Chain A
Amino acid sequence: MDNLVFEKTKSTLAVNFNAQTGVLELSGSSYPENTSEFYQPLIEWIQKYFLEVTKKLTLNIKIDYLNSSSIKFLSDIIDKLENYHKSSGEVEINWYYKEDDDDMMEMGEEIKEDVTFTFNLISA
Chain B
Amino acid sequence: MPDDFIIKHNSGEASLVIGYAGVCNHSVLEKFTEVLFREAEPYLSPKEIKTTLFCSNEVIQNVGFYSMERGSESDASGIGKFELAILPSRVLITSTNLTTVSDYERMKERIENLNALDQEGLKQLYKEKLRSESEEESKGAGIGLIEIRRKSKNPIVITLSEQESAKQIIFEITIDKGNDNG
Interfacial residues, chain A to chain B (CB-CB below 8 A): 10-11, 31, 33, 65, 67-69, 71-73, 75, 79, 100-103, 110, 114
Contact = CB atoms under 8 A, between A and B. Distances in A.
Contacts of B51: 103
Interface size class for chain B? 20 to 34
Contacts of B105: none
Contact of A72 (B26, B46, B58, B143): B143
A101 B140 CA distance: 24
Interface string B109-124: 0000000000000010
Contacts of B29: 11, 31
Given A10-B30, A31-B29, A68 B144 contact: yes
A100 B143 contact: no
B170 interface: no
Interface of B: 26, 29-30, 33-34, 46-47, 50-51, 53-54, 57-58, 61, 123, 127, 129-131, 134, 140-144, 147, 151
Contact of A68 (B47, B50, B143): B143
Nearest to B25: A33
Given A11-B26, A11-B30, A67-B54, A103 B151 contact: yes
Nearest to B50: A103
Contacts of A100: 46-47
Nearest to A78: B130
Nearest to A66: B54
Nearest to A75: B130
Q: Which A-B residue pairs are the 10 nearest by beta carbons? A: A72-B141, A68-B144, A33-B26, A75-B130, A69-B141, A69-B140, A68-B143, A10-B30, A68-B141, A68-B140
A68 B140 CA distance: 7
Contact of B50 (A33, A65, A72, A73): A65
Contacts of A11: 26, 29-30, 33
Given A100-B46, A102-B47, A72 B130 contact: yes
A2 B53 CA distance: 36
A114 B127 contact: yes
B130 to A, nearest CB: 4
Contacts of B61: 67
A73 B29 CA distance: 19
Nearest to A33: B26
Contacts of A72: 129-130, 134, 140-143
A103 B57 CA distance: 16
B141 A71 contact: yes
A75 B57 CA distance: 20
B9 to A, nearest CB: 24
Contact of B143 (A33, A71, A79): A71
